[in-house]
A and B are shown apart, each in its own frame.
Chain A
């Protein structure tokens, strides 16, 4: 019986190995749902593997909070996230090294095309949020402590009123960008979205970009190599590649044909 159990274990382990090329090392990248929802990795992963044939890239798309937790638990070799304050904490507590800024993605405030509150004429993003709060117009918040939600929170912190609000108009979904956009469209509510996800999803949304621009509406993505991870070499290879000219050209090329503007803007040295 014991032998049988051992055999079964060996069998199941070998089954999970099927599909992996044994000559390649698997690099596990933890990233955010906003990058995954935009489709960036379906372009980035093959390009990286082509330039670095020794490695196979596996992407786990989760919230920034979970991505950092995966790093702390050494379940990921490298992180591509966008929450600068949490990232610095992560590195200071010894979990990661070599934080390098990779790219930028801008935020945009979306809403019903008739813009009932008139945020299109707001002075800045904080003014726009204050207008929505004052009118108690439906507003969808990610509420999942993701990078985008942290951005949103930092904007509210600057405003004269802050969540949590009384009333049903403030809708906290606790879901990824894609799902939250669908909910905002159905409810004809305002929402802060990253531009990449919005552009890729706009065809099936009844939402218009009402307010954008300003330095406080930018989203900076960085790579962090996880210390003591199982594949530190591969992590370094990815980190070097994505910040190289080859990696940057893939990023800036992504979506340019389809949307007339790049979805992500690589950081210039």
Chain B
């Protein structure tokens, strides 16, 4: 392998880090809005169907099979696909797109669960202090920050460990789209089980590290 292990590790962190952040940027507002709806469900009646549908979609999204996401994105980005002119298939942006699709529903789902578990009187109190809708929303997010941090760690852990979609849309190209999981598959296929195991341990350590960081943060703020 002329590419160093370190380069692959750094690329994986970079790609999955960006994807997780974009996933959070999409997932948090959606999840928080759904959570807010749950808290206010007694009064909110309009648009109920749409919200139920959205919640079902988020829950489905949390269990999306990565390879199916990979195949779908590959078809879309392929030269003969609708977005072919961007020539994005087998590039880092293609991997990021796939990982965003996988991590955004997770972020939304966990944010929703956290916000929805807040006491209902919390909103009533805020309103009593004269908070407007935007301020309520901000306060809710602030109160849910620990859950959202957990969403970040779970999302990162999921996308950096994923191999099916990344292989299909990234192509495991050396020096460009080879990430830790695809490198592990390659080493195993070559019969280099020790190298595969070594990379696997580095991957585990990374996911563990991300969760440890979040756990420490959660403990100190509780």
Chain A residues with CB under 8 Å of chain B are 62-63, 65-70, 143-146, 164, 168, 171-175, 179, 183, 185-187, 206
Q: Are A175 and B2 in contact (CB under 8 A)?
A: no
Chain B contacts for A70, CB-based, 8 A: 191
B122 at the interface (CB under 8 A from A): no
A186-B78, A186-B79, A186-B90 as given contacts; A173 in contact with B189, CB under 8 Å: no
In the complex, A65→B192 CA distance in Å? 8
Chain B residues within 8 Å of A, Cβ to Cβ: 2, 78-79, 89-90, 167, 171-176, 178, 182-183, 186, 188-193
The verdict on A183 contacting B171 (CB below 8 Å), with A164-B2, A174-B182 known, is: yes
A-B contact pairs, 27 of them (CB 8 A): A62-B189, A63-B189, A63-B191, A66-B188, A66-B191, A67-B191, A143-B174, A144-B190, A145-B190, A146-B189, A164-B2, A171-B173, A171-B174, A172-B173, A173-B171, A174-B172, A174-B174, A174-B186, A175-B167, A175-B186, A183-B90, A183-B173, A186-B78, A186-B89, A186-B90, A187-B90, A206-B79
- The interface residues of chain B lying within 8 Å CB-to-CB of A186 are 78-79, 89-90
The B interface, classified by DSSP as helix, strand, loop or mixed, is loop
> In whole angstroms, how far apart are the Cα atoms of A183 and B171 in the complex?
7
Q: Is the CB of B190 within 8 A of A66?
A: yes
Bound-state CA distance A183–B167 (Å) is: 11
List of B residues within 8 angstroms of A68 by Cβ: 191
Q: In the assembled complex, how far is the CB of residue B196 from the closest CB belonging to chain A, in whole angstroms?
A: 10
Chain A residue with Cβ nearest B80: A206
A65 with B173: in contact, given A174-B182, A206-B79 (CB under 8 Å)?
no
Tell me if A's interface is mostly helix, strand, loop or mixed.
mixed
| CB neighbours of B191 from chain A (8 A) | 63, 65-70
What chain B residues lie within 8 Å of A67 (beta carbons)? 191
Chain A residues contacting B78 (CB-CB under 8 Å) are: 186
Q: Are A144 and B173 in contact (CB under 8 A)?
A: no
C-alpha spacing A19/B84, complex, angstroms: 44
Query: A131 to chain B: closest CB distance in Å?
Result: 22
* Contact of A173 with B173 in the complex, beta carbons under 8 Å: yes
Given contacts A175-B167, A186-B78, A186-B89, contact A63 B172 (CB under 8 A): no
B188 lies within 8 A of A174 (CB): no
> Closest residue to B174 on the A side, CB-wise?
A172
Chain B residues contacting A146 (CB-CB under 8 Å) are 189
Smallest Cβ-Cβ distance to B90: which chain A residue: A183
Expressed in whole angstroms, the Cα–Cα distance for A14 and B30 within the complex equals 47
Give Cα A171–Cα B173 distance, bound, in whole angstroms. 6
A172 surroundings in chain B (CB, below 8 A): 173-175
Q: A66-B190, A172-B174, A206-B79 are in contact. List 19 more A-B contacts (CB 8 A).
A: A62-B189, A63-B190, A65-B190, A65-B191, A66-B189, A66-B191, A69-B193, A70-B191, A143-B174, A171-B174, A172-B175, A173-B172, A174-B172, A174-B173, A174-B182, A175-B167, A183-B171, A186-B79, A187-B90
With A68-B191, A186-B79 known as contacts, the answer to whether A179 contacts B173 (CB < 8 A) is no
CA A42 to CA B10, docked complex, whole Å: 41
Q: Which residues does chain B contribute within 8 Å of A168, judged by CB atoms?
A: 175-176
Instruction: Say whether A144 contacts B189, CB under 8 Å.
Output: yes
Central interface residue in A65, A174, A175, by most chain B CB within 10 Å: A174
- List the B residue with the shortest CB-CB distance to A163: B2
CA distance A173 to B178 in the complex (A): 8
Cβ of B183: which chain A residues have Cβ within 8 Å of it? 174
Q: Which residue in chain A gives the minimum CB-CB distance to B193?
A: A69
Residues of B near A69 (CB, < 8 A) are: 191, 193
> Given the complex of chains A and B, what is the CA–CA distance between A168 and B188 in angstroms?
25
A164 CA to B173 CA, complexed, in Å: 14
Q: Is the CB of A175 within 8 A of B172?
A: yes
Alpha-carbon separation in the docked complex, A33 to B192 (Å): 17
A65 to B171, CA, bound (A): 20
